[in-house]
Amino acid sequence: MKAIKPHLPALPDYPYTTAQALIKLDQNESPYGLPAELKAELASRLAELPLNRYPRMHAETLAERIADFEGWPESGVVVGPGSNTIIFALVAAAQNILDVQPSFVHYEHSAHLLGAPYKAVLLREGFELPVEEIQQALSEGEPGVFFLPNPHTPTGAFFALERVAAIAQTAAAEEWLMVVDEAYYQFAPADMKRQAQGELHLAILRTFSKAWGLAGARAGYLLASDEVARVVRNLLPPFGVPSLTVLAVELALEHPGYVAEAVEKVRRERDRVYLELKAHPVWDAYPSHTNFLLIRTPDAEAAYQGLLKRGVLVRRQDHIPGLEGAIRVTIGTPVENDAFLQAAFELAKEEWGKEKEPDDATGED
Ligand code: PMP
């Protein structure tokens, strides 16, 4: 079709397929969501919401609340209906894209859609951050936007801040914009917000979809310099954050205590599931600083289907180079995690004929 840029029809769809299952552990959502009393408060505020009116052009009232919450100048806060939309706007703004591999697929997907030149540096063995190779790529190429998810997805690894900061220094010297995507920062030991303050070449991306339990509301934000924020804002559709979203997220920001509680429960469960999986005779889980675990299996299709047959939906990752046989499971409630573990051990017996290893088996990390 002549009306459409010729590269677009040939591009693959966003790599996500879903299935019906009793236990949904495939999208790194929070198993908890808003507490019941906040849901009731939301319902009563909703009754007063003037839905006949447009929301603010760039969710200015919400940006102000986020600025207060984060201790960031309001002029540097960009709110979007999901951090995915902000990634898309950043890619639209960028001369070039640099990524790591494996990585969050939306960076590469957006680059191909928008026709931005795209390059990626491979993570080292054990998903270690290749600092020198990234610094070299930043020095060699024309400047653009470098995306680094930390904690890293889809592996769950956490890159030490000194190493991330060393890359940020090179990015600044070479006039790149480095975006640290902190979608999972609440589950990790540290974050880069302080280092980004006052920096033109470093920005932080966060979301309400994970720890805040508001994936359905669709809201994310960028903490950047005024200059970068203005450009990104202008690339987002005007009036793009729905009033319904603003209402829910502003209410959540008034009660951040529930998030700390949910995060604590998820972290505890993540460590329990990881430890229990050490006794799995065929699968190997990687350590995680997120709300999910990446697991290496001999056959991702068999693992996925076997779990699904037992009512547990996970995400395949084996299409990603370097992640052959991998699946990713979100940490759910204790009951959901037990169901996953039970299915995982049953499957080992049925599919691979192996029994649970004795309690003192440690396995390998
Ligand atoms: N960044 C990372 C690293 C993610 O894993 C995700 C969601 N899977 C997002 C951004 C997008 O989140 P949202 O659009 O829901 O804010």
pLDDT tens string 51-101: 999 999 999 999 999 999 999 999 999 999 999 999 999 999 999 999 999
Do 228 and 286 fall into the same domain? Answer: no
Q: pLDDT at residue 364 above 90?
A: no
In the numeric block, the tokens 């054990």 are attached to 126
Residue type, 155: T
Residue type, 292: F
Domain that holds residue 235: 51-254
Do 59 and 198 fall into the same domain? Answer: yes
Q: pLDDT at residue 361 above 80?
A: no
- pLDDT at residue 1, as a whole number: 85
Domain annotation covers residue 39: no
Do 221 and 327 fall into the same domain? Answer: no
Quote the percentage of the chain above a pLDDT of 90. Answer: 92
pLDDT tens string 271-316: 999 999 999 999 999 999 999 999 999 999 999 999 999 999 999 9
pLDDT tens string 2-54: 999 999 999 999 888 888 999 999 999 999 999 999 999 999 999 999 999 99
Distance of alpha carbon 59 from alpha carbon 78, whole angstroms: 9
Domain annotation covers residue 345: yes
Q: How many C-beta atoms surround the C-beta of residue 136 within 10 A?
A: 13
Decide: 89 in ligand 1 pocket, CB within 6 A. no
Domain annotation covers residue 347: yes
Do 111 and 157 fall into the same domain? Answer: yes
Average pLDDT of the chain is 95
pLDDT tens string 108-138: 999 999 999 999 999 999 999 999 999 999 9
Do 283 and 249 fall into the same domain? Answer: no
Residue in 175, 176, 255 with CA at minimum distance from that of residue 212: 255
Q: pLDDT at residue 359 above 70?
A: no
To test the pocket of ligand 1, the residue of 105, 106, 292 to mutate (highest count of ligand atoms within 8 Å of its CB) is 106
Domain annotation covers residue 310: yes
pLDDT tens string 227-255: 999 999 999 999 999 999 999 999 999 99
Could you tell me the distance, in angstroms and rounded to a whole number, from the CA of residue 106 to the centre of ligand 1? 8
Of the three residues 239, 254, 269, the one that is the final residue of a domain is 254
**Count of the separate structural domains present in the chain:** 2
Do 62 and 77 fall into the same domain? Answer: yes
In the numeric block, the tokens 């540290």 are attached to 190
To test the pocket of ligand 1, the residue of 78, 86, 103, 104 to mutate (highest count of ligand atoms within 8 Å of its CB) is 104
Q: pLDDT at residue 360 above 70?
A: no
Domain annotation covers residue 155: yes
CATH of the domain at 279: 3.90.1150.10
Which residues have C-beta within 8 Å of that of residue 84, sequence separation ≥ 6? 106, 220
Q: pLDDT at residue 363 above 50?
A: no
- Sort strands 202-207 and 177-181 into parallel, antiparallel or unpaired: parallel
Domain annotation covers residue 1: no
Of the three residues 230, 254, 278, the one that is the final residue of a domain is 254
Do 113 and 247 fall into the same domain? Answer: yes
Could you tell me the distance, in angstroms and rounded to a whole number, from the CA of residue 83 to the centre of ligand 1? 6
Q: Rg of the chain over CA atoms, in angstroms?
A: 21
Do 162 and 266 fall into the same domain? Answer: no
Distance of alpha carbon 72 from alpha carbon 196, whole angstroms: 10
Of the three residues 202, 221, 254, the one that is the final residue of a domain is 254
Provide the token pair at 200: 């033109």
Do 149 and 76 fall into the same domain? Answer: yes
Domain annotation covers residue 8: no
Do 217 and 294 fall into the same domain? Answer: no
Domain annotation covers residue 316: yes
Reported pTM: 0.96
Could you tell me the distance, in angstroms and rounded to a whole number, from the CA of residue 301 to the centre of ligand 1? 24
Decide: 330 in ligand 1 pocket, CB within 6 A. no
- pLDDT at residue 16, as a whole number: 84
Distance of alpha carbon 314 from alpha carbon 303, whole angstroms: 9
User: Alpha helix locations (H) across the chain?
Assistant: 36-47, 60-70, 83-93, 105-114, 131-140, 161-173, 193-196, 226-235, 243-254, 257-277, 300-309, 334-352
Do 207 and 87 fall into the same domain? Answer: yes
Buried b (16+ CB within 10 A) or exposed e, 305-325: ebbbebebbbbbbbebeebeb
Decide: 155 in ligand 1 pocket, CB within 6 A. no
Do 222 and 306 fall into the same domain? Answer: no
CATH of the domain at 131: 3.40.640.10
Provide the token pair at 174: 């070479």
In the numeric block, the tokens 């309001």 are attached to 74
